Amino acid sequence: MLEQQQAAGIRVEALAAQFQAQAETWAQRLGLPLVDEAAEFAVQLGAEGLQIQQLGPQAPGPVRVDFVEGQAAHRRLYGGGNGQMIAKAVGIAQGVRPRVLDATAGLGKDAFVLASLGCEMTLIERQPLIAALLEDGLARARGDAEIGPIVARMQLLTGNAIERMRAWEGEAPQVIYLDPMFPHRDKSALVKKEMRVFRPLVGDDLDAPALLEAALALATHRVVVKRPRKAPMIEGGKPSHSLEGKSSRYDIYPKKALKG
């Protein structure tokens, strides 16, 4: 993972003088330089928080985590509530709000949806840059009167999810949610801005079978795996059933029934 960061070439920069101290702090935390003329990416500090910007003439816009406005707000308000597929997949029902571990948190979009529906969420993100964006987004959202109580239900852990699940201490999560990056064959899928930025930094989750194995060993009630609709199942245990949407599906591995 660190090798990929170094190979991609990343620098940290402040977008205005008042953010220079923050930029220096993040550079130190992430082990990245403040000056690198050949960098392909920049971690930027500005008025809207922390963001990653791919550099170069054809680069898409910056990627940041924003739980208060934009896509997250729209999905929270108009996404379908308890009726949406992800809610059904993790077992949300009348009087049932499971404790969920999102072991592949990414930018926290799915975890935020589940937290907004009342689930207590633990998030694990192993890629340090993505974890930094998530940490920054959660910190900014805590100050919002409406969103603060939602992100209070989201606890972020960093590091390797497989190792963290194998060495888990305390009460085990009822549900573990996995959305691993998968090897790309369809170039049209790369159009999404986040994918264009993250794939050079993150790569694919080639250890997805071990991720599923660790999740099945830890979860008390079920494991849910989000996959592209036509993608094969992860090697390992077989799901009991799947919920299928237009572009993705949820493979469900039950252990015991969730009750209110």
**Residue-wise pLDDT tens digits, 23-66:** 999 999 999 999 999 999 999 999 999 999 999 888 888 999 99
pLDDT value, residue 193: 60
Residue 59 has which token pair? 């680069």
Q: Once rounded to an integer, what is the mean pLDDT over residues 184-200?
A: 57
Q: Span 76-101, mean pLDDT?
A: 88
Other CB atoms within 10 Å distance of the CB of residue 236: 17
* The residue to which tokens 């801005």 are assigned: 193
List the beta bridge partners of residue 121: 100, 154
The pLDDT of residue 192 is above 80:
no
What Å distances lie between residue 23 and 12, 70, 162, CA to CA? 6, 25, 31
In this prediction the pTM is 0.90
pLDDT higher than threshold 60 for residue 118 = yes
Task: Confirm or deny that 235 is annotated as ligand binding.
Answer: no
Could you read off the pLDDT of 242-259 as tens digits, one per residue?
Answer: 999 888 899 999 999 998
* 13 annotated to bind ligand: no
Q: Is 171 annotated as a binding residue?
A: no
pLDDT at 240: 95
Secondary structure (3-state) at 96: strand
Rounded Cα–Cα distance for residues 251 and 249 (Å): 7
Q: Which residues, 6+ apart, have CB-to-CB distance to 25 below 8 Å?
A: none
50 forms beta bridges with 45
For residue 37, report the phi and psi dihedrals to the nearest 5 degrees: -65, -25
Task: Quick: pLDDT tens for 148-173.
Answer: 999 999 999 999 999 999 999 999 99
pLDDT of residue 56: 86
